[in-house]
Amino acid sequence: MEPYLQEFHPPARLLLGPGPSNVSPRVLQAMTAPVLGYLDPHFARVMDDIRAMLRLVFQTGNRLTLPVSGTGSAGMEAALGNVLEPGDTLVVGVNGFFGERLTQIGERCGARVVQVQAPWGRPLDPEAVAAELRKNKRVKAVAVVHAETSTGVLNPVQEVARVAREHDALTIVDAVTSLGGIEVAVDQWGVDVSFSCSQKCLGCPPGLAPITLGPRAEEVLGQRKTPPHSWYLDLNLTQRYWSQNLSYHHTPPTSMLYGLREGLRAILEEGLQARFRRHWRNGAALHAGLEALGLGLFAQQGYRLPVLTSVRIPDGLNDDKVRSALLNEYNIEIGRGQGAMAGKIWRIGLMGENSRPSAVFSLLSALEQVLPREGFEVAKGESVAAAQRVLAEGDGSVAK
Ligand SMILES: Cc1ncc(COP(=O)(O)O)c(C=O)c1O
């Protein structure tokens, strides 16, 4: 039989890379429900539920809150493409791969992009953002990545938003790796636009990009001189379907939305604060375990994400061989370095379902087996013990 005529049975991987993360059976189950028409009143309820739950997860009262059809990058394009018009000035914080992507998309929107850089592995400096805002008159928006997935750094978004507001600029926050795993308090922090993805800490498959826009951003949308370049991502059009009158814009990805509804339900059942504590605690256990293996963490201490940990690859170790051994022998996926960090770091995700002690122990035990084979000696049993100690002590209030 031709291979393509055979059924496909993916292996049961533990996805500890930068995303996608494993999806819980309850979300997968929800996605098998019968497809409904997009004007069906029962489907309208699904949409209402999603919008209500997204507001809770983004911690916002923003009216314009919905899932964009597309992955996190579609959320990024929607955020920048709706706010920016040709000739606008955008200040972008860049300390990794996704800050560069914000820059590229901003430029494609015709904006003049001013970068505020920090070295990869270090956080952005809100003072440096303030300096650019003083230098450049009439900045339309400041865009910043909350959790920089390429380096494992947590950026000080709250401080950046405060500085932007002082200069009357909007704040656009990429919460692709943070939403549902660490706190994203849109209203309290004064964030005007934020977007995320379904496949990381929200615990769903890839394909949706939740987005929220506050009143100041909505005002900017209403005052545009030109329509956004992308018809598909024009939020003025999509929100008409998502608001009460359900006028057709594009066919919503029904099964994906069923999955997102269930993923959000699981998050709210757990409770946001409990969920954040769980992520911080398991992240701290992983950090301790990796250090006990003799590996160095790449991100600056005090700014390390619990959901994505970057680890320096020791000199002489073969990046591909270690990752392949983990995948083929232990069914564990970890991520490779991106851009400038390719071959220099590994990226380990503990997101949503996968932020749990058993995932931490599995990975550490597998590394204890694989690393010495590749020439890097480790003290056997130490890493799991170090992680266990953190979990035993931890009440979840691990210092950020
Ligand atoms: C911080 C950040 N922003 C944007 C994206 C792009 O999202 P996607 O790959 O879902 O399009 C990613 C993906 O990993 C990311 O980590």
**With a threshold of 0.95, does the pTM exceed it?**
yes
C-alpha 157 to ligand 1 mean position (Å) = 17
C-alpha 49 to ligand 1 mean position (Å) = 25
CB-CB contact of 174 with 195 (8 Å): yes
C-alpha 377 to ligand 1 mean position (Å) = 34
C-alpha 40 to ligand 1 mean position (Å) = 32
pLDDT of the residue at 398: 47
Q: What residue ranges line ligand 1, CB within 6 angstroms?
A: 18-19, 71-73, 76, 98, 145, 149, 174, 176-177, 197, 206
C-alpha span between 139 and 135 (Å, rounded): 10
pLDDT in tens, 198-227: 999 999 999 999 999 999 999 999 999 999
C-alpha span between 143 and 25 (Å, rounded): 35
Atom of ligand 1 nearest to the CA of 147: 1
pLDDT of the residue at 400: 42
C-alpha 247 to ligand 1 mean position (Å) = 30
CB-CB contact of 339 with 97 (8 Å): yes
Q: How far is CA 192 from CA 124, 196, 294, 331, in A?
A: 19, 14, 42, 41
CB-CB contact of 98 with 149 (8 Å): yes
Atom of ligand 1 nearest to the CA of 76: 4
Q: Which superfamily does CATH assign the domain made up of 271-393 to? A: Aspartate Aminotransferase, domain 1 (3.90.1150.10)
Q: Which residues of the chain, if any, have pLDDT below 70?
A: 244-245, 394-400
Q: How many CA atoms lie within 13 A of 296 on its CB side?
A: 10
Q: How far is CA 246 from CA 34, 145, 335, in A?
A: 20, 32, 40
Q: Which of 92, 95, 177, 201 to mutate to test the pocket of ligand 1 (most atoms within 8 A of CB)?
A: 177
Q: How far is CA 378 from CA 123, 284, 333, 386, in A?
A: 30, 20, 21, 13
pLDDT of the residue at 399: 42
pLDDT in tens, 134-188: 999 899 999 999 999 999 999 999 999 999 999 999 999 999 999 999 999 999 9
C-alpha 172 to ligand 1 mean position (Å) = 15
Q: Which of 105, 120, 149 to mutate to test the pocket of ligand 1 (most atoms within 8 A of CB)?
A: 149
Atom of ligand 1 nearest to the CA of 199: 10
Task: List, in sequence order, every residue forming a beta bridge with 143; answer none if it has no partner.
Answer: 92, 172
**Domain chopping of the chain, boundaries:** 31-269, 271-393
pLDDT of the residue at 394: 66
C-alpha 181 to ligand 1 mean position (Å) = 15
Taking CA atoms only, the protein residue closest to ligand 1 atom 2 is: 176
Pick the CATH number of 31-269 from 3.40.630.40, 3.40.640.10, 3.40.50.300, 1.10.10.10: 3.40.640.10
